[in-house]
Amino acid sequence: MSYLIDIVLIALSAALINNFVLYYFVGICPFIGVSRKVEMAFGMGCAVTFVISIAAIMSWTITTFVLMPGAPLSAWVAGFFVSSESAAKIDLTILSYIVYIFAIASSVQFVEMYVRKFFPLLYKSFGVFLPLITTNCAILFACLKIMSNIVGVDDPADAWDLGRSLTLAVFGGVGFTIAISIMAGIREELELCDIPKPFKGAAITLITGGILAMAFMGFTGVDSGLKKAMTPAPSIEMKAPQNTAQ
């Protein structure tokens, strides 16, 4: 049950509360560049969601088995060269950035080849965006977030499993799709507006994005409220009578 709550909270937080674009500012380049038409924006969003999920699976696997301090696979390999105590302490986190970026680049390549071969229709709708995605910050950002939730926790039992990581990635991608599609819808209308010349294009998009970000700020606190509502019994029983003033 508590696992399910966790998943729901991660999903909600990634998609709406801490939206990748409007809260963390990752993936701003496509947000401004590819948000002219709703169909294009939606295609881009789908492509990002697709790649981000694959990258998340890869980065979770690599981090857990190879990169994190005392990771089983690297400890096993190192065991052939050094004593088993020092092999257990092996820490390859310094390589993580390089590994992630290459994992992303290669997964984009494979996805592109695979989709072009087996799903030509799908390729037609979002294939053109695939090469652009390698340099999309959102993907690397998702990998880094997953890493910080595996390496950066005090209690090894708190480290994220594949399910949580995948939820973060998929709903991060969904959040990106939501943001970019709303933006594209607004921009289609903006075409008909009389915007001062210097503000045409990127500037007005950014200002609109600011207003959107303000709207999304309204979601703050939803997660803490939801958590309280879904947790079956309060963790602390209050001795004093409940204060009705609150």
Which stretch in 115-123, 159-167, 170-178, 205-213 sits in contact with other proteins by CB under 8 A?
205-213
Residue 95 within binding range of other proteins, rule CB under 8 A:
yes
Q: Which amino acid is at 115?
A: V
In the chain, where does DSSP find H-type helix?
2-12, 28-33, 38-62, 72-78, 84-88, 96-118, 120-126, 130-133, 137-151, 162-190, 202-217, 222-230
- Residue 233 in contact with other proteins, rule: CB under 8 A: yes
Distance CA 218, CA 17 (A): 8
Contact by Cβ (8 Å): 59, 147: yes
The answer to whether 209 contacts other proteins (rule: CB under 8 A) is yes
Site for other proteins contains 109 (CB under 8 A): no
Distant-in-sequence, close-in-space partners of 142: CB < 8 Å, separation ≥ 6: 20, 52, 55, 56, 59, 168, 169, 172
By the rule CB under 8 A, 229 interacts with other proteins: no
Query: Can you read off the two tokens belonging to residue 221?
Result: 């606190």
Give the residue, chosen from 76, 211, 218, 230, that forms a contact with other proteins under the rule CB under 8 A.
211
Which two three-digit tokens encode residue 110?
């494979």
121 or 197, CB closer to other proteins?
Answer: 197
- Closer residue to other proteins in complex, CB, 77/217: 217
Work out how close the CB of 17 gets to other proteins at its nearest, in angstroms, rounded to a whole number.
7
User: In whole angstroms, how large is the CA radius of gyration of the chain?
Assistant: 22
CA-to-CA dists, residue 70 to 34, 79, 87, 143, 149, angstroms: 42, 11, 8, 19, 16
Of the candidate residues 192, 193, 229, 240, the single one contacting other proteins (CB under 8 A): 240
Among 14, 17, 169, 182, binds other proteins (CB under 8 A): 17
Positions touching other proteins (CB under 8 A) are 2, 13, 17-18, 22-29, 32, 94-95, 97-98, 101-102, 105, 134-137, 140-141, 144-145, 148, 154-155, 157-158, 196-199, 202-207, 209-211, 213-214, 217, 220-221, 223-224, 227, 233, 235-236, 238-240, 243, 245-246
